[in-house]
Structure 1
Amino acid sequence: MSVIYILLAVSVVVAIFFFAAFVIAVRKGQYDDSYTPSVRMLFEDEVVKKKTKESSKIITKTD
């Protein structure tokens, strides 16, 4: 039975360690996305063209 208490204590310590590492990584900006905003402008025109084609199809169907 004492083994369960030891394993429980070790697992709580490991969980706290990983949580602290995660919080530190978030505070340092490890998960900030600096790539997508610079590439988004390259693909905006395609999204706008698709939307205008879809909206023109809807307009012609309702006429």
Structure 2
Amino acid sequence: MNGLVFLIPIALGLGLLGLAAFFWALRQGQFDDLDGAALRILVEDEEEPAS
């Protein structure tokens, strides 16, 4: 029983920390363009001519 006194607050704290990190990333715009990076690999860049 004594272990639960320490483990429950630690688990709740880590959960709140993860939730805060998610909301921070959401507010910073980390999830704005989900398809851009996936489609960018399909676009061929123009190569500069060798001189």
Check whether TM > 0.5.
Answer: yes
Larger Rg: 1
Aligned residues: 38
CA-CA distance at 1:16 after TM superposition: 0.5
- Structure with greater helix share of residues: 1
In structure 1, what is the equivalent of residue 23 of structure 2? 23
Please report how far the alpha carbon of residue 33 of structure 1 lies from its aligned counterpart in structure 2 after TM superposition: 1.1
TM normalised by structure 2 equals 0.64
Where structure 2 has 5 or more consecutive residues not aligned to the other structure, the ranges are: 41-51
Moved over 2 A (4+): none
TM-score by length of 1: 0.52
Higher relative contact order (CA 8 A, sep 6+): 2
Q: What is the CA-CA distance between 1:5 and the residue it aligns to?
A: 1.7
Amino acid corresponding to residue 22 of structure 2 in structure 1? F
